[in-house]
């Protein structure tokens, strides 16, 4: 039972992290109609920046904040120099260009930080286990991830639903030409949204960094998961991304934790130990395929254009 609670929390934590990544992706996708494969690279850069700046400043929080700012600036620079010329182009052109950026970032990281991974050690106050319900301890750092991600999600909701900028973002998602015609500086809006997405990806990367090692290519696997989420949630819908991210995080974590035992009850030992890792890795993709076959527009499609 305790194990289930713990895995549920792990799933929630992973899902919230995925949401940070997917939120930026779905905003950029929904508003600019831009497929950004390099979003995973921004996630990776966030983790590398954090590992570097935490080592420099000696403070986890300060280093993380600087890394967040650095990823934001990097995202804005990237948008300004290259990506803004690709809006309105074919999705395939965007895939090709941002695929090139992945190659670039991977080798740039290898040049600057070397091929070996980095570790981002946690400060002592975040490593203590916290008693959440009597008898169940949970790492403080993972609880912090949950808290930060929920706070960011709430902030994002307020910004998008309650502010003028958010209104423009929503308007941009439903009709780009129209808000341009109404005299809104669409280029600036796009740059801001892209920077916001980059910062969210960086935040996800730097928060994940202490749990996994910081390494080249870390963004590639998780990028695909983020795409799965925005497709399941419906492209351009932040609410959809939130629901789908938590759903995917929990299913993925629970699958990995409990599927092997379940399969062992049904199948013979050898067959189960072969099938379990494959099935638990595939679970998410299987889910997406089923959802797309049944509902080709995702579960929570954003308003029609």
Q: Which residues bind another protein (CB under 8 A)?
A: 29, 35, 37, 82, 85-86, 89, 91-97, 99-108, 110-111, 220, 224, 227-228, 231, 235, 273-275, 277-278, 281-282, 285-286, 288-289, 292-293, 296-298
What SS3 class is residue 3?
Answer: helix
Q: Which is nearer to another protein, 69 or 217 (CB)?
A: 217
Least Å distance, CB 282 to another protein, is 5
Least Å distance, CB 141 to another protein, is 29
Contact between 210 and 121 (Cβ < 8 Å): yes
Q: Which is nearer to another protein, 86 or 218 (CB)?
A: 86
Contact between 283 and 251 (Cβ < 8 Å): yes
Q: Which is nearer to another protein, 207 or 288 (CB)?
A: 288
Q: Which helix (H) or strand (E) holds 223?
A: helix 218-233
Q: Which is nearer to another protein, 25 or 179 (CB)?
A: 25
**Alpha-carbon distances, residue 85 vs 67, 74, 90, 261, 272 (angstroms):** 27, 17, 12, 51, 50
Q: Which is nearer to another protein, 139 or 233 (CB)?
A: 233
CA–CA gap between residue 205 and residue 224 (Å, rounded): 14
Least Å distance, CB 222 to another protein, is 12
Least Å distance, CB 107 to another protein, is 3
CA dihedral 161, 305, 190, 95 (to 10 degrees): 130
Q: Where are the beta strands (DSSP E) in 113-267?
A: 129-133, 136-139
Name the β-bridge partners of 214. 118
Least Å distance, CB 163 to another protein, is 28
């Amino acid at each position: 039972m305790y194990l289930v609670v713990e895995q549920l929390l792990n799933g929630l934590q992973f899902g919230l992290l995925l949401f940070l990544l997917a939120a930026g992706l779905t905003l950029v996708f929904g508003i600019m109609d831009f497929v950004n494969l390099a979003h995973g690279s921004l996630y990776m850069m966030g983790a590398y920046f954090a590992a570097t700046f935490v080592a420099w400043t000696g403070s986890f929080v300060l280093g993380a904040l600087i890394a967040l700012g650095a990823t934001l600036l990097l995202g804005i620079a990237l948008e300004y120099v290259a990506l803004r010329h690709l809006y309105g182009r074919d999705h395939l052109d965007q895939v090709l260009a941002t695929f090139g950026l992945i190659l670039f970032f991977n080798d740039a990281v290898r040049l600057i930080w070397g091929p070996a991974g980095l570790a981002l050690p946690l400060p002592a106050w975040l490593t203590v286990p916290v008693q959440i319900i009597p008898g169940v301890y949970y790492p403080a750092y993972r609880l912090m991830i949950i808290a930060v991600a929920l706070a960011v999600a709430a902030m994002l909701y307020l910004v998008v639903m309650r502010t003028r900028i958010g209104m423009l973002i929503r308007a941009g998602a439903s009709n780009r030409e129209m808000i341009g015609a109404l005299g809104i500086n669409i280029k600036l809006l796009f740059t801001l949204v892209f920077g916001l997405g980059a910062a969210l990806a960086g935040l996800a990367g730097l928060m994940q960094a202490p749990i996994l090692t910081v390494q080249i290519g870390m963004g590639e696997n998780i990028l695909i998961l983020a795409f799965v989420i925005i497709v399941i949630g419906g492209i351009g819908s932040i609410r959809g991304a939130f629901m789908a991210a938590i759903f995917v995080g929990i299913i993925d974590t629970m699958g990995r934790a409990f599927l092997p035992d379940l399969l062992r009850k049904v199948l013979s030992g050898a067959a189960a130990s072969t099938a379990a890792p494959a099935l638990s890795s595939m679970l998410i993709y299987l889910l997406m395929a089923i959802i797309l076959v049944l509902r080709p527009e995702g579960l929570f499609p954003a308003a029609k254009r």
